[in-house]
Every structure is written in structure tokens, then in C-alpha cells.
Amino acid sequence: MASPRRVHKVAEKVRGLIAMELQRVADPRFSLVTITSAVVSRDLRHVKVYWMVTGNSVRRAEVEQAFEGATGLFRRLLADGLGTRFVPDMRFYYDDTLDASDEIDRLLAKIRTDAPMQLEEE
């Protein structure tokens, strides 16, 4: 098992390598995609890469397909750039943090607009 510090360093290296490669890759589906984070297992054999893109669910599905098709490219990139004994298995996940934040903001705004009406009724 790797130390927590080593796991963090590998995760940041993975995030940086993939983010830089997205700028170079010719696939237009990767335009405006942001790699938000990478989470590496303690044994350095698995990595979850979280990404974000603006747009609707159709756009998100296109990017998911692009990541599925480019997994081999990213594995080769990690093999060359990580310097670890094993190349971690990668999974790509949509980061819905901003979506959840927007939903909370929308609900809070609704509560704020409904609250004065309730006070007037009492």
C-alpha cells in the first residue's frame, strides 16, 4: 500500500496528464471538457477520473462515449508519464457537483420567494 501522500501525488499527476492530453487530442467531443479530479486507490491500481462539461444531457452522453473510446489512449499516456509499476485501471465519471449546487440554489431561491407569501397569510 502506498502512503496517503504518494496516492495524492499520483492522483494529481493523473489529473494533470489527462487534462493536458484533452487539449491536444483531435476529437471535437472533448472540447470544453474539464478534468475536475482523480481519485486513486491505495494500491495505485485503480483510478476514478471525474470530468465536467457545460451543456445538456446529449452533450454529456457524447463526452462519455468519447472517454470510453479513448481509454486506451489515456492508459498509454499514464504508462509513459506516471512512472509506477502498474498502469491503473481507469473509469471516467461525470462530476455533478455544479448540477447539485445549482439545484440547491434553485430550491433555496424558491423557498425565499415562497416565504413572504406564507408570512402574509398568517
Overall fold of domain 4-95: GMP Synthetase; Chain A, domain 3 (3.30.300)
Q: Are the beta carbons of 38 and 11 closer than 8 angstroms?
A: yes
0.85 surpassed by pTM: no
pLDDT at 78 exceeding the cut of 80: yes
pLDDT at 117 exceeding the cut of 70: no
Q: Residue 102: pLDDT band by 50, 70, 90 thresholds?
A: confident
In angstroms, rounded to a whole number, what is the distance separating the alpha carbons of residues 13 and 80? 12
Q: Residue 111: pLDDT band by 50, 70, 90 thresholds?
A: confident
pLDDT tens figures, 11-35: 999 999 999 999 999 899 999 999 9
Helix (H, G, I), strand (E, B) or coil at 89: strand
